[in-house]
Amino acid sequence: MDAFAIKIRKLREVYGYPQEYVAYQMGISQAAYSKKETGKTELSLMGLQQVSQLYNVPLIDLISLTWQDLVVNVVRKTNLPN
């Protein structure tokens, strides 16, 4: 699986959001979002910005950090339960 696809899946799981919710927030269907999360299609720049805003993650972190570091940063910043 694509490393970026893993990042967006892990972020969604940390927040406890269903795919339908994330897809709705992005203005796409659940099926289209699922393809992005499995690496079958890629997010556009607009899609990257939407994901960044949804999870309150700087775009540069979303792009450059490993999924593990990204999740740790999100959990620390938002005080989400482990």
pLDDT value of residue 31: 97
Look-up: residue for tokens 């450059």?
64
- The DSSP line for 7-33 is HHHHHHHHHT--HHHHHHHHTS-HHHH
Query: Per residue in 18-77, pLDDT tens?
Result: 999 999 999 999 999 999 999 999 999 999 999 999 999 999 999 999 999 999 999 888
Domain range summary for the chain, segments of one domain joined by +: 3-78
Q: How confident is the model at residue 82 (pLDDT cuts 50, 70, 90)?
A: low
Q: Look at the alpha carbons of 30, 44, 14, 66 in this order and tell me if their dihedral is positive or negative.
A: positive
d(CA 5, CA 41): 9
| 41, two tokens | 């299609």
Residue pair 29/23 in contact by the 8 Å Cβ criterion = yes
Architecture of domain 3-78 in CATH?
A: Orthogonal Bundle (1.10)
